[in-house]
Amino acid sequence: MMKRALHIGLLLLLPLLLATGCREDLLDQVPKLTVYLDIPRPALTRADEGFIPSEYVAENTINTLQIWVFLSEACGDFAAGTCIGYLSPDPLYMNDASNYRFAVPLNPIVADAHPNVDVFVLANAASAGYPDLGVQTQRVELNNLVMEGGFFGIDGNAPVCTEVPEGGLPFAGVGKGMKMKGTYPVLTLDTVTLTRTVSKLRFVFSQLKDVEGPVNECQVTGIQINGSTISASEYLFNDSMASYKIAPNQYVASPMIFQGLTGEQIALSTAPEDYAFRMGQTATEYESLVLQGIEDGVLSSQGLCYLRESDKPLTGRIDYVMNGTVGHADFTMKDPGDFARNHSWIVYMYFTRDAIRFTVTWTPWEEGHSFILTD
């Protein structure tokens, strides 16, 4: 009788809501909610040839991962917005090629009621300016998290982030009003997809050469992205119907100005047109092609940066000199929202025998693969 009372007492001492450092054998006695995540993991098209760009590694590294589960609606004595689970799994698992599992232990009353839940998932939070989020963080706080100021913005006329931060790029995903599926004690949710909360921009240049060297005398004298296009404040979690979620009508007024290139700095190629984007290429294929061209020295990269999103099409101009003739080329993204989060933009300009050519292309960073997160 005493053993039975002790057993009941231990169950009562379990945290009613939050999943924290409990012993595995004890967790096995309570119902669990399995969370499915989709995390970007591009397949490298040139890996079999030994070419794995360092950008790919850095841009996809998960250093920290945090998962919150809140009640969307009241359940018994628990009010809507109550946190029923928090996990911060070992980030080393998230950089492997295999599937891993992390599960949220549930209070039996909640598990039996099958309430709808809100799931928030954030990776590399410190890079977005939030190193102190944790088990005590409330739903309303997560809803209101924004990136602003120096976080992937513009300082003066220069982008703040010209390489992947030490803590990695921030990723976020949210699912609201998600329905619990399955039967007691094993419950599941639909997949929550994570995306990078920033987009990437770079300029690439090349000039035609023949057996004697450069065909023309070329120079890029200025590169600019016009002001009042990058958002001043971007929400980390996008629960809207749009591909972006920013503070309305708030933009960084400053233009971004990048250094030009001398003729000697513009790479030479016998076929610079081979690096123009072609319909049918995937994001990974095209970016791998461009990065291989940079690696091989036939393309020059300038102005690489990571920026907050925008609901406006980015516009800008490139000033150049070709055989003593001064000129400029204006460019624009096609549609509003083309610079939403998790996009990779490449503005490619190349000099042919008698003209210049432009391709301004965007591709969504490659979709992820499914990871089943449970302990």
pLDDT digits (tens, 9 = 90+) for 148-158: 999 999 999 99
**What range defines the domain where residue 100 resides?**
23-197+368-373
Task: Check pLDDT > 70 for residue 99.
Answer: no
Do residues 190 and 71 share a domain? yes
Task: Check pLDDT > 80 for residue 196.
Answer: yes
Do residues 235 and 109 share a domain? no
- 54: domain CATH number? 2.60.40
* Domain-located, residue 1: no
- The answer to whether residues 35 and 192 touch, using CB atoms and an 8 Å cutoff, is yes
* Domain-located, residue 303: yes
Task: Give me the sign of the Cα torsion angle 217, 255, 234, 250.
Answer: negative
Q: What's the pLDDT score for residue 287?
A: 83
Contact partners, residue 78, CB within 8 Å, separation at least 6:
17, 71, 84, 107, 110
Do residues 32 and 135 share a domain? yes
68 burial type by CB count under 10 A (0-12 exposed, 13-18 middle, 19+ buried) = buried
CA distances from 349 to 156, 208, 268, 288, 299 (A): 26, 11, 13, 18, 10
DSSP code of residue 263? G
Our measurement of the distance from residue 123's CA atom to the centroid of its chain's CA atoms, rounded to an integer in Å, reads 9
Do residues 40 and 170 share a domain? yes
Do residues 120 and 254 share a domain? no
Contact partners, residue 25, CB within 8 Å, separation at least 6:
none
* Domain-located, residue 124: yes
Do residues 193 and 203 share a domain? no
Of the listed ranges 129-133, 227-231, 371-375, the one predicted with least confidence: 371-375
Phi/psi for 30 (5° steps) reads -120, 155
Task: Check pLDDT > 50 for residue 22.
Answer: no
Integer Cα distance of 272 and 313 in angstroms: 27
Do residues 145 and 205 share a domain? no
Q: What's the pLDDT score for residue 93?
A: 54
Do residues 233 and 297 share a domain? yes
* Domain-located, residue 77: yes
Do residues 242 and 184 share a domain? no
Percent of the chain with pLDDT over 70: 82
Integer Cα distance of 122 and 37 in angstroms: 11
Q: Hey, which residues does 202 pair with through a beta bridge?
A: 346
Integer Cα distance of 361 and 375 in angstroms: 41
* Domain-located, residue 7: no
pLDDT digits (tens, 9 = 90+) for 300-322: 999 999 999 999 989 999 999 99
Which residue stretches of 189-346 are H helix?
283-296
Strand bridging mode 171-178 / 233-235: unpaired
Q: What's the pLDDT score for residue 247?
A: 94
pLDDT digits (tens, 9 = 90+) for 258-272: 999 999 999 999 999
Phi/psi for 115 (5° steps) reads -75, 160
260 is written with which tokens? 């030009």
Do residues 172 and 213 share a domain? no
Integer Cα distance of 206 and 323 in angstroms: 15
pLDDT digits (tens, 9 = 90+) for 222-235: 999 999 999 999 99
186 is written with which tokens? 């094993």
Q: What's the pLDDT score for residue 47?
A: 33
Q: Give buried/exposed letters for 187-209 (b at 16+ CB in 10 A, else e).
A: bbbebbbbbbbbbbbbbbbbbbb
- The answer to whether residues 351 and 266 touch, using CB atoms and an 8 Å cutoff, is yes
Q: What's the pLDDT score for residue 53?
A: 59
- 249: domain CATH number? 2.60.40.2630
Query: Which amino acid is it at 367?
Result: E
Query: Side-chain half-sphere of 303: how many Cα atoms within 13 Å?
Result: 25
SS3 annotation, 17-67: CCCCCCCHHHHCCCCEEEEEEEEECCCCCCHHHCCCCHHHHHHCCCCCEEE
Domain count, the chain: 2
Residue 134: CB atoms within 10 A of its CB come to: 11
Do residues 280 and 171 share a domain? no
